[in-house]
A and B are shown apart, each in its own frame.
Chain A
Amino acid sequence: MYTYKSGIAQIDEVSGGFDAATNILILAPPMSLGDQLAYALTKPLPGEYAIVLSTNERAAEVVDAFKLAGADKRFTGVIDAITKSSTPTIVDTPRLMFVSSPTDLTGIGIKFSNMIETIFEGEFSDGEAGLFPPPIRFCVNSISTLLMYRRLEVLYQFLHVLTAKLKKIEGVGVYLLNSESFDEKTLSLIKQLMTCVIEIKVEQNINFLRIRGITGVNGDWMKFQVTRGQVVILP
């Protein structure tokens, strides 16, 4: 089974990376490096694909962020739930798909399936590596935004289906959630869907992360930075 490199030495040296079918929750406060960490973990390595469900920024911004992080944009797809509300006539491409709004779970589910299918059929990009099943990193860049539009119970059921599908195709999922905007019940319900949780805190402008749920990985707080899509653990 495929192992996804995390780019974090503390994980990769102990377990080789994330096992296929791992779902990772990043719990991060606002103004932290949470989104950068999520993108760093989602950035496709050679032979891999990335799909971002963007509920808080336009596809173009996501693609730019991945490009800055050193990702090959030919292997990065975005399901954009923002742009269509202002540009209703926008047309899907194999790598950029649009849904009307973050409320549109039907559309999100369909575009997710379509994009996965495009990858499986080898029609996503040129120069495909041919691994089967194709390794896919999937990121929801804000569960918090989805929670603003849909009830927790509904979203839980929806994410349950999404995470299960990701497991079936042996992908890895990264889900970003604002740790300060939701109550304990919300956090614990979302955590139930995950296999690993990375918590972030910020003290005196320094970001710390703590990894839970990976056997053998130290659960202590560690200082970190993200530089050009690379996670650097600071001494």
Chain B
Amino acid sequence: MISTGVNGLDEMLGSGIPQGSRVLYSLEPGVNGQLFMISTLSCALARGHSCLVIFPNTTVEAYRNDAARMYGARLDLASGPVTFMDAIDRERIDKSARSAEARASEWKARIQKLCRDHQVTVIFAYFDLLYEEFGLETAMEILESAREGTEGRKITLVIEHLNLEGTPLIERFIRDLSFDFVLAIRSSFRPFPQFNYFTLVHASWAQIPVRSLPFIIAEGRIIPYIPRIVVTGPAGSGKSTFVMNAADEGHSIDRGGTDGDSTTVVLDFGWLRWKDFDITMYGTPGHTRFDPLMPPYLRYAMGVIIVVDATKPDQLTRARHLIDMIVKRRIPYVVAANKNDLPGVMSVGEIRNHLGIGEDIPLFPISATRKADVNFVIESLVDSITQFTY
């Protein structure tokens, strides 16, 4: 497998991209997505793959400089097993061959020679100009020609394309050209100008539903971002403890309750970096008088954790009501049966029966005071978010 260089994405794919695959990173205009291919290139080089990088729109030096600036010192293009074809090669081909057919042949011959001479196993190509000059089929034939005469060596092809035609072009890559992995990198221009996300459109080797996830770029890395996980449940079930224990940074807005304990009155807020996902958590108050706050909390939630007190059967009716709200909005959720370290806890089966949920909904007996338990619940929810079929 070849790592994409994005840990969160590799998790979704089951550790990366199989060798010999055809990979498309489809970039919408304006989206800051060039780091995807550079990250994959860096990982391929780190694993000792011999790489050919084709970028007809710029020079080797400018590319090296840009890549180093985007990705940092981890990417060493000067000493890795990497060969380049750049804008200068393109100019030479344009000068030496007059017709489009002759130019295509020249491209093929040069790529084949480089692949043969350097035992290339992964090709990275910026596709725009080849596509514009030769059209989709011929441009792909040029790149695919590298596979000829490789004596069984599987060559992986990774292309980055500025997609000005949208979904129809992506469908052609999948349907007509049998691409194995297609990631569409997009941006929303509102409410802030730049809000990047990727959509895992197709992975031929894995049963993964089409899934979109926002991402941020920090420290030269692409980090999938889950902007809202809601933690909810009946009052006193341990939601604040859960959020505070889960978060790298967290705050709870509490005041003294009538029973002498503190109770959440607005929200708990937590931020965490988990397995290369950047996650923001919102804990809701549990009392029914705060229920009008629930729709706005849930509106943009990507997942929900329901925390119930496993020692209090009388709370489960309230939890079931909350689950109804979530199911109606088709949000993936998991249940954390908290206070499992205390005496008098219900069994998992009893809780499932009370809540009316089947085996398909993950339910974990936990203690929210234990970080390991909390992490287990988050891991399960992230899996649900990235693989949930809407």
Contacts and interface: CB of A to CB of B under 8 A. Distances in A.
The 5 closest A-B pairs by CB, nearest first: A100-B58, A88-B62, A157-B164, A109-B30, A109-B29
Contacts of A85: 59, 62
Nearest to A103: B57
B58 A110 contact: no
Contact of B129 (A103, A113, A165): A103
- What class of interface size applies to chain B in its complex with A? 20 to 34
Nearest to B192: A120
Contacts of A106: 27, 29, 34, 57, 126, 128, 160, 162
28 contacts: A84-B58, A84-B62, A100-B62, A101-B57, A103-B87, A105-B162, A106-B27, A106-B57, A106-B126, A106-B128, A106-B162, A109-B29, A109-B31, A109-B162, A110-B31, A110-B34, A112-B30, A114-B32, A116-B193, A117-B193, A151-B132, A154-B164, A157-B164, A161-B29, A162-B29, A168-B190, A169-B189, A169-B193
B359 to A, nearest CB: 45
Contacts of B32: 110, 113-114
A133 B104 CA distance: 47
Interface string B162-199: 10110000000000000000000001011011100000
B65 interface: yes
Name the prevailing secondary structure of the A interface residues.
helix
Contact of A117 (B63, B129, B132, B192): B192
A165 B192 contact: no
Kindly state the interface size class of chain A when it binds its partner. Answer: 20 to 34
Contacts of B27: 106
Given A101-B57, A105-B29, A161-B30, A91 B69 contact: yes
Nearest to B87: A101
Nearest to B195: A117
Nearest to A92: B69
Interface in B115-150: 126, 128-129, 132
Contacts of A169: 189, 193
Interface in B186-236: 187, 189-190, 192-194
Contacts of A161: 28-30, 164
B61 interface: yes
Interface string A70-89: 00000000000000110011
Interface of B: 27-32, 34, 57-59, 61-63, 65-66, 69, 87, 126, 128-129, 132, 160, 162, 164-165, 187, 189-190, 192-194
A228 interface: no
A171 B365 CA distance: 54
A104 interface: yes
Nearest to B69: A91
A157 B165 contact: yes
A216 B29 CA distance: 36
Contacts of A104: 57-58
A178 to B, nearest CB: 22
Interface of A: 84-85, 88-89, 91, 100-101, 103-107, 109-110, 112-114, 116-117, 120, 150-151, 154, 157-158, 161-162, 165, 168-169
Most chain B CB within a 10 A radius of its CB, from A100, A101, A168 = A100
A2 B362 CA distance: 52
A77 B164 CA distance: 25
Contacts of B187: 113
A151 B190 CA distance: 30
Contacts of B194: 113-114, 116-117
A117 B216 CA distance: 14
Given A106-B128, A150-B132, A88 B61 contact: yes
B190 A154 contact: no
B62 A113 contact: no
Given A91-B69, A154-B164, A158-B29, A101 B58 contact: yes
Name the residue in B126, B128, B190 with the highest tally of chain A Cβ atoms < 10 Å from its Cβ: B128
A116 B193 CA distance: 7
Contacts of A154: 132, 164
Contacts of B190: 168
A223 B160 CA distance: 49
A100 B129 contact: no
A208 B27 CA distance: 42
Contacts of A101: 57-58, 87
Given A91-B69, A113-B31, A117-B193, A100 B61 contact: no
B29 A88 contact: no
Nearest to A155: B164
